[in-house]
Amino acid sequence: MTVTDEALSHAPGAAGGDRSGPGGDTAGARVAAALARDLDEGFAALYEAYRGAVFSTALRLCGRWAEAEDLSAEAFLRAYRALTGYEEARIAGLRPRAWLLTILTNVWRNSLRSAARRPPPGPIEDAPDPPDPGEGVEDAAARHETGRELAGLLARLPHQQRAAVVLRHVTDLPVAEIAAVLDLPEGTVKSHISRGLARLRALRAAPGPPEADHVQPDRVQPDRSALDPEQKGGTR
Confidence of residue 193 (pLDDT cuts 50, 70, 90): very high
In this predicted structure, which of 137-151, 154-168, 180-194 has the lowest mean pLDDT?
137-151
Global pTM reads 0.75
Instruction: Give the per-residue pLDDT at 1.
Output: 42
Range scoring the smallest mean pLDDT among 29-38, 57-66, 135-144, 199-208: 135-144
For the stretch 30-61, pLDDT in tens is: 999 999 999 999 999 999 999 999 999 999 99
pLDDT digits (tens, 9 = 90+) for 27-37: 999 999 999 99
Distance CA 4, CA 76 (A): 34
Whole-number pLDDT of residue 115? 74
Q: pLDDT value at position 208?
A: 59
Query: What is the structure's pLDDT at 31?
Result: 97
The answer on pLDDT for 197 being more than 90 is: yes
The whole-number pLDDT of residue 13 equals 38
Q: Is the pLDDT of residue 118 over 50?
A: yes
Q: What is the rounded CA–CA span in Å between residue 194 and residue 162?
A: 11
Amino acid identity, residue 28?
G
Q: Which residues are CB-neighbours of 146 under 8 A, at least 6 positions away?
A: 1, 2, 3, 7, 128
Q: What b-and-e string marks burial along 38-62, b requiring 16 or more CB atoms within 10 Å of the CB?
A: ebeebbebbeebbeebbbbbbbbbb
Write down the pLDDT at residue 148: 77
| Averaged pLDDT for residues 143-166 | 85
The percent of residues above 70 in pLDDT, for the chain, comes to 64
Indicate the range of 47-61, 125-139, 143-157 predicted with least confidence: 125-139
Q: What is the percent of the chain with per-residue pLDDT over 90, rounded to a whole number?
A: 58
